[in-house]
Structure formats: structure tokens, C-alpha cells
Amino acid sequence: METKDTVSLCSVLKDQEIQRLQEKARLSKGGYMNSFRVLQTNTAFLLRKDFLSYNSIPEGAFERAFLQIFGVEVSTFKRIFSLNLDKLEEQLTKDKLHENDFKIALTALKAPFDRFFNYEMQKSLTFESRQEFKKYTGMEPQFFKEWILKDFDFIEKYMLETILHEQEIQKLLNEKKLQTQEVQINTIKALNADSIVMENTYSSKENSSSETVFNKSVKESSLDSETKDVHAIK
């Protein structure tokens, strides 16, 4: 059985470890939120309605390039990507993070890029498609691919770190709770044991006192009897 001092020291050490993990979780959360904002910035052009006219790109040229690269029309991609971006943000801003829900949201957001991330597809792009894509995005398709993949990787890395820290924090809190309950149970047992000892001691004293009174009464009765006998003889 652990002593109160030992339990108190363990509790202090657990509190310190919880505070350390909470700080690490806070930093990791800041990391994935920053990475998410970077992803929003890096993909903002995909959602702009005026970008084509702003860059004087011939009507239909970028749409054809986009269809070859992503395998879907621009309007369809924008709608799906915008929806999934909102869903991922919803998961990232929750007070209680859930790994499965986060992974589902991240996978859904990455899904429209699957064709774009494919190495064989990158090799098969025509020169015209690359040029039109660069006019629209300001970068080569391969560079854009690496840029976006890095954002996704950072979000996932920091998010999983945060979840791990929160799981460790919960484990320590559970251990601390069980330890506190054990101390309370042991304290109650000790108090009950002391109470029993006191009752036994009091009972023993009462029995001893009763025995003394009884012995005294017997003696007094014996003396009275002897006295009566003496008087009778006289």
C-alpha cells in the first residue's frame, strides 16, 4: 500500500506531466491550424470566379487543361473541394478531436487531387495543358502538386500529434482519479480499523471495570458473611 506522501508526490508529478502535454497539444493544434490556413491560401485561386478573366486566359483553354489534369470539370471540382474544405475545418476546430472523423474529412478533401497526384498523369500532360495551368495558377503542375501535398502532410502530422497528446493526457487523468479513489478507500478502511480498535479497547475496559466491581461485591459479601458468623459465635 502506498503512503500518503508517496501518493501526493505521484499526483504532483502527474500534474506536471499533464501540463507539459497540454502545452505540446496546444502547439500541435496551432501547427495544424496554421497548415490549414496555408492550404486555404494556396488553393484559394481554385475557388475564384474572376481569375480567368483577370489573367486574360482564353475562354475554354483552362477548362480543357483542368479537365485533363483533374479528370473533372472546374465547376464540379470547386463545389466538391469547397464542401470538403469546410468539413475538414469543422473537424479541426472541434474541442474534442476524433481521429477517425478527421481522417475521413482529410481523405475526402484529398480525393479530387488523386488524379493530379498520379505520377503517370503528370508525365502524360501536354505542353499546352501545362502552359494553360501555369497561366492560371502561376506555377508548374508538378510544383503545385508538391506544394499541396506538403500542406496535407503538415495538417495530418500536427493533427495526429495533438490527438496522441490528448490521449496521453486522458490516460494520466484516469490514473490520477483511480489513485485518488484508492487513497479515499484506504483512508476509510484506516478510520474503520481505528474505530474497531477503539470499540474493542472501550469494551475491554468496560469488562474489566465490571469484573472489578463484581470481585469487589463478592469480597464485600464474603466479609459480611464472615462478620455475621463471628457475631453468631459470640
Q: What is the pTM of this model?
A: 0.63
Report the candidate in 25, 23, 167 with the shortest Cα–Cα distance to residue 98.
167
* R_g of the chain, CA atoms, integer Å: 41
Q: Which pLDDT value is given to residue 5?
A: 59
Rounded to an integer, what distance in angstroms lies between the CA atom of residue 142 and that of residue 146?
6
Instruction: Say which residue, 146 or 47, is predicted with more confidence.
Output: 146
Distances 123 to 38, 51, 68, 120, 133 between C-alpha atoms, Å:
27, 26, 12, 5, 14
* CB-facing half-sphere around the CA of 169: CA atoms within 13 A: 17
User: With 50 as the cut, is the pLDDT of residue 54 above it?
Assistant: no
Query: How many percent of the chain have pLDDT more than 90?
Result: 6
Mean residue pLDDT of the chain comes to 75
Is residue 1 pLDDT above 70, yes or no? no
175: pLDDT strictly greater than 60:
yes
Query: What's the rounded mean pLDDT across residues 127-149?
Result: 77
Average pLDDT over residues 74-94: 88
Distance CA 85, CA 49 (A): 17
Which tens digits make up the pLDDT trace of 192-216?
666 665 665 655 555 555 555 445 5
